[in-house]
Amino acid sequence: MKKLMNSPDAFVDEMLAGLVAAHPSLVHEGRVVCRAGGARKGKVGIVSGGGAGHLPLFTGYVGEGLLDACAVGDVFAGPSVDSCVQAIHTADGERGVLRLYGNYGGDRMNFDLAGEMVEMDGIKTTTVLGTDDIASAAPEEGTRRRGVAGIIYAYKIAGAKAETGADLAEVTATAQAAVDAARTIGVALSPCQIPGAAKATFEIGPDEIEMGMGIHGEPGIWRDKLRSADDVADEMVRRLLADPVASPSGRVSVLVNSLGATPLEELFIVYRRVAALLKKEGLTIVRPLVGHYVTSMEMAGLSISLIHLDAEREKLLAAPCACPFWRV
């Protein structure tokens, strides 16, 4: 697979250098990206992080009304413990720090270890794990589900809550409720390759798609011949709506997200169908998002995320925010 880079070992650091050069609202030190102004005293901090290779996730969502800091690892590998510690310190405004990240083994171990270390420095932390990928485990095994694109709703909603001056317990509860109300499913058309890896993350025939595939090529539900955009959208929406959530309100936000190579044209073809299907189901769509929000480098395919909104979540979703990739 062709990549524009200088060396696999420099891939992440050179990417971060370019990101902050292009966006002066961000600064980075090593593998930690934070707001240029630093932590705001009196506000609960929110940190996230994970492997690189998913831009705009994670670092792209550092900004007002969203995240305070991010720790990034190598491509598709968790951030180091040291980076997690540094990110938590950077985000600390003396009211505690929420660790909000996807449910992956390496990320969990590192953020857990970091949490224990910063506790010794007197920083209180809590954890909320993104678990929105419905194809990664059955509903009754919800805690084993992995976090994918739906986590950006939790960033937005928890970030807005923190800006109101809410305390750590309130921000944590709001983030957890947002994760619990979000569902995502993806479909993959072609793979990506980690810089320096021997081969692509998975193999798939030129005329095949895989329903339910994860953002690192985790196996999905079925693999079959490519079918029409409407057929794919129908199945994805049907699966999302069939997955149980506590007290659905009839109001949802929906994110049609490119995994990297799939262009906006195809996303809008799919969104048109998704919007019609949700309307037919009697659901009202609030603030839809269509674009590149959580990617896997050059992977082709898309994901659809749905978040069920109560009055508070809807209000927090509409609150102002500003980061390089999302502005309200």
Q: Pick from 25, 29, 38, 81 the residue near another protein by CB under 8 A.
A: 81
Distances (CA, A) of 154 to 162, 177, 286: 12, 8, 15
Instruction: Tell me how far, at minimum, the Cβ of 116 lies from another protein, in Å.
Output: 11
Task: Tell me whether residue 65 or residue 217 sits nearer to another protein (CB atom).
Answer: 217
- With residue 307 as reference, give the H or E element that holds it: strand 300-308
Is 216 known to be catalytic? yes
Q: For helices 229-242 and 264-280, give the axis angle rounded to 10 degrees.
A: 50
Residue in this structure with the two tokens 């630093």, named with its chain if needed: 38
Is the CB of residue 87 less than 8 Å from the CB of residue 30? Answer: no
Residues in the chain: 328
Q: Does 153 bind another protein (CB under 8 A)?
A: no
Pairing of strands 69-75, 32-35: antiparallel
Smallest CA-to-CA distance from 145 within 172, 118, 188, 180 is with 180
CA distances (Å), origin 9, targets 74, 75, 107, 295, 311: 9, 10, 20, 20, 46
Binding mask 88-107 for another protein (x = CB under 8 A): ----------------xxxx
Which residues, 181 to 200, sit near another protein by CB under 8 A? 194, 196-200
Q: How far is CA 270 from the centre of its chain?
A: 20
Least Cβ distance, residue 29 to another protein (angstroms):
13
Q: Which of 29, 82, 180, 243 binds another protein (CB under 8 A)?
A: 82
Give 9 or 231: the residue with its C-beta nearer to another protein.
9
Specify whether the CB–CB gap between 274 and 256 falls below 8 A: yes
- Identity of the residue, 59 or 174, whose beta carbon is nearer to another protein in the bound complex: 59
Burial of 327 by CB count in 10 Å (0-12 exposed, 13-18 middle, 19+ buried)? exposed
Site for another protein in 104-133 (CB under 8 A): 104-107, 109-110, 112-113
**Among the residue ranges 66-74, 120-128, 148-156, 315-323, the one whose residues contact another protein (CB under 8 A):** 66-74
80 lines the binding site for another protein (CB under 8 A): yes
Give least dist CB 36 to another protein, A.
24
Catalytic residue, chosen from 54, 89, 292, 308, is 54
Nearer to another protein, 71 or 149 (CB): 71
Stretch of 81-89, 91-99, 259-267, 315-323 contacting another protein, by CB under 8 A:
81-89
**Is 23 one of the annotated active-site residues of the chain?**
no
Query: Given phi > 0 = left and psi -120 to 50 = alpha, else beta, which region is 301?
Result: left
* Interacting residues of 20 by C-beta distance below 8 A, sequence separation 6+: 26, 27, 28, 33
- Of 23, 28, 89, 216, the catalytic one is 216
Instruction: Tell me the two tokens of residue 249.
Output: 């309100």
| 262 touches another protein by CB under 8 A | no
Active site residues: 54, 216
Which spans of this chain sit near another protein (rule: CB under 8 A)?
8-9, 51, 71, 73-84, 104-107, 109-110, 112-113, 136, 194, 196-201, 214, 216-219
